[in-house]
Amino acid sequence: MTSTTKTAPPAELSVKRIRAWSALLGVLSAAVVLAVAEFFAVFISPASSPVLAVGSLVIDLAPSWLKDLTIALFGTNDKIVLLLCVGLLVLVLAVVIGLIEYARPSWGVILLVFVGVVATIAVTTRAQASASWPMPTVLGVVAGVLVLRLTMIRLRRWVSSAPAAPAATPAGTAAAARAASAQRSSATPNRVPAASRRDFLRIVGVTSIGAVLVGAGARVVNASASVVDAVRTALTLPAAAFPAPAIPAGASLDVAGISPIITPNADFYRIDTALVVPNIDADEWSLKITGMVENEIEITFAELLALPLVETAATLSCVSNVVGGDLVDNAMWLGYPIRELLARAKPLAGADMVLSRSIDGFTASTPIEALQEESRESILAVGMNGEPLPREHGFPVRMVVPGLYGYVSATKWVVEMQVTRFADATAYWTDRGWSAKGPVKVQSRIDVPASNASIEAGTLAVAGVAWAPNTGVTGVEVRVDSGTWEPAELATAISVDTWVQWVYEWEATSGNHIIEVRATDADGTTQSGDPVPVVPDGAEGWHRIGVQVS
């Protein structure tokens, strides 16, 4: 190496400098991979970021003697050592990728993609991984490949336009020198060296700054999300002072493909306006009751958990749920009755609405009586199916009001309840054309058979769920090909607040058939067959499917 520096005149680009730049472009591409992956992990899950996933995979795969040795050597710093090792490995790989890509175009890209595939496997094999988890890594690698290619093209242009470096190169750099001279001989001769150099430096500068800003910003967000996740995982909720009665033995029908009576958290539908799920430190959280009250009150998370909590099942549904849609689910919630808190705050006469506010500014307008009635278990929920609320479902605290659509009642990440009047305030979706009040309409859905299914003639279970939360479903009927409505068998509902499973034994004969369902609630309201769109206060109509029987 020494001879290059000694013998070369102050040429624009010595082989040594070309190699240094190539190595740097490898590092830059790796930085772009990580920054872009970190950025998309913000929207998917902090744990889908490839760096941590690779670290975790290494921990899983490392032989136990190595783990023991690391712990023996570094004690509780073993994780930091591991991350440093992964970081060092990434750096070395990045340098190699850059050098190879310059000497043998496309080989660096291939190595980068290969490393990307390994990282994607690491992400996909994490225990909690969902289908979307590989996306940040894949998008990161795509961006990294683009940057590697585009910067290399500009480096080559610069090299080819620069005055030739001296031929004298030590054996070790022969390949790079060959590549450089090959580049020169095929170069477009009319490029001005200064312009190509400027071009190259500009793309390197802009990409570096972008990668650092995006990567660091996204890392900070992901780190705080990880902290909240860790706090949430470590949290043990108190037992309910008023546990829910056992789920009735007859609540679940034995029909393959029917919606389970309790929706697992991972499958529970999610709707909100949050681009990034808010990260709330439960210790910092508090809820204020403000507005038209005698006593404004504030309650912390610890104070809330110390109160006698109730456990109650309730079906949540979205006003945007189309007939037959899946924006409806049922969970077992743990929380404290809102009526008790309102009683402490003492609403003033004339108040008819509570405007609840999320930490991210979303608001919902709930009729105050829906929160005060003894007959309705409206709660400030802290638990969902035996766990603290998942972050995306409102950790640490949300509202759950049986019988009202989510947009007027189920505020997640709730931090304020302002007692007011419908005449004086409007909520987020009301300002966007939706109704100020949103009682849930009685609805029913066919889960099996699937729409357009091809089935064999014979006895067949047509089954699904029906719901009219806070009222209860008293009957479900099915009809085939616009024939007479036949009663379906109802399972035992957990309560009037939850959906109920139903099944209808159908003698399927060959041919194409239309199956429809309708439910009746405890007030005697039967679903109307006239279709009504979701805007402004919820869809109406019968769920209808077609099947081919052979």
Q: Is 39 in the site for ligand MTE (CB under 6 A)?
A: no
Choosing from 49, 161, 378, 411, the residue that interacts with ligand MTE (CB under 6 A) is: 411
Segment 139-158, which members bind ligand MTE (CB under 6 A)? none
CB of 397 or CB of 480, closer to ligand MTE: 397
In the list ligand MTE, Mo ion, none, the entry touching 358 (Cβ below 5 to 8 angstroms by class) is: ligand MTE
Rounded distance between C-alpha atoms, residue 186 and residue 178, angstroms: 12
Q: Is 538 in the site for Mo ion (CB under 5 A)?
A: no
* Rg, the chain, Cα only: 31
Which of 24-32, 147-155, 269-277, 483-491 is the region at the interface with Mo ion (rule: CB under 5 A)? Answer: 269-277
Q: Is 15 in the site for Mo ion (CB under 5 A)?
A: no
In the list Mo ion, ligand MTE, none, the entry touching 269 (Cβ below 5 to 8 angstroms by class) is: ligand MTE
CB of 39 or CB of 407, closer to ligand MTE: 407
Burial of 42 from C-beta contacts in 10 A (0-12 / 13-18 / 19+): buried
Angle at 453 between CA 452 and CA 454, to 5 degrees: 120
3-state secondary structure 487-506: ECEECCCCCCCCCEEEEEEE
Rounded distance between C-alpha atoms, residue 348 and residue 293, angstroms: 5
Distances (CA, A) of 326 to 5, 57, 548: 69, 35, 23
Burial of 444 from C-beta contacts in 10 A (0-12 / 13-18 / 19+): buried
Name the residue type at position 148. L
Rounded distance between C-alpha atoms, residue 261 and residue 265, angstroms: 12
Q: Is 440 in the site for ligand MTE (CB under 6 A)?
A: no
Rounded distance between C-alpha atoms, residue 327 and residue 376, angstroms: 22
In the list Mo ion, ligand MTE, none, the entry touching 333 (Cβ below 5 to 8 angstroms by class) is: none
CB of 102 or CB of 413, closer to ligand MTE: 413
DSSP code of residue 528: P
The residue with tokens 């909720």 is: 237
Measured at CB, which residue is nearest to ligand MTE?
406
Query: Phi then psi for 68, rounded to 5 degrees?
Result: -60, -40
Which of 182-190, 225-233, 407-415, 463-471 is the region at the interface with ligand MTE (rule: CB under 6 A)? Answer: 407-415
Give the per-residue contact string, 221-260, with ligand MTE (x = CB under 6 A; - = no): ----------------------------------------
At closest approach, how far in Å is the CB of 362 from Mo ion?
Answer: 11
Q: Is 410 in the site for ligand MTE (CB under 6 A)?
A: yes
* Beta strands, E only, 301-390: 310-317, 328-337, 353-358, 363-367, 379-384, 387-388
Query: Phi then psi for 295, rounded to 5 degrees?
Result: -120, 115
At closest approach, how far in Å is the CB of 331 from Mo ion?
Answer: 15
At closest approach, how far in Å is the CB of 467 from Mo ion?
Answer: 15
Kind of pairing, strands 310-317 and 443-448? unpaired
Is 442 within 8 Å of 472 (Cβ atoms)?
no
Choosing from 413, 499, 504, 542, the residue that interacts with ligand MTE (CB under 6 A) is: 413
Is 289 within 8 Å of 417 (Cβ atoms)?
yes
Angle at 520 between CA 254 and CA 256, to 5 degrees: 15
Q: Is 406 in the site for Mo ion (CB under 5 A)?
A: yes
Which of 87-95, 110-118, 249-257, 401-409 is the region at the interface with Mo ion (rule: CB under 5 A)? Answer: 401-409
What number of CA atoms fall less than 13 Å from residue 74's CA on the CB side?
14
Which tokens in the block code for residue 243? 């546990």
Give the total of residues touching ligand MTE (CB under 6 A). Answer: 19
Give the per-residue contact string, 261-300, with ligand MTE (x = CB under 6 A; - = no): -------xxxxxxx--------------------------
Choosing from 407, 499, 504, 506, the residue that interacts with ligand MTE (CB under 6 A) is: 407
Which tokens in the block code for residue 336? 């404290």
Choosing from 393, 441, 518, 543, the residue that interacts with ligand MTE (CB under 6 A) is: 393
In the list ligand MTE, Mo ion, none, the entry touching 367 (Cβ below 5 to 8 angstroms by class) is: none
Q: Is 412 in the site for ligand MTE (CB under 6 A)?
A: yes
In the list ligand MTE, Mo ion, none, the entry touching 272 (Cβ below 5 to 8 angstroms by class) is: ligand MTE
Which tokens in the block code for residue 168? 């004298």
Segment 311-330, which members bind ligand MTE (CB under 6 A)? 316, 318
In the list ligand MTE, Mo ion, none, the entry touching 268 (Cβ below 5 to 8 angstroms by class) is: ligand MTE
Choosing from 117, 271, 436, 532, the residue that interacts with Mo ion (CB under 5 A) is: 271
Which of 163-171, 268-276, 418-426, 516-524 is the region at the interface with Mo ion (rule: CB under 5 A)? Answer: 268-276
How many CB atoms sit inside 10 A of residue 349's CB?
5
Rounded distance between C-alpha atoms, residue 127 and residue 107, angstroms: 33
Name the residues that contact Mo ion, by CB under 5 A.
Answer: 271, 318, 406-407
Name the residues that contact ligand MTE, by CB under 6 A.
Answer: 268-274, 316, 318, 358, 360, 362, 393, 406-407, 410-413
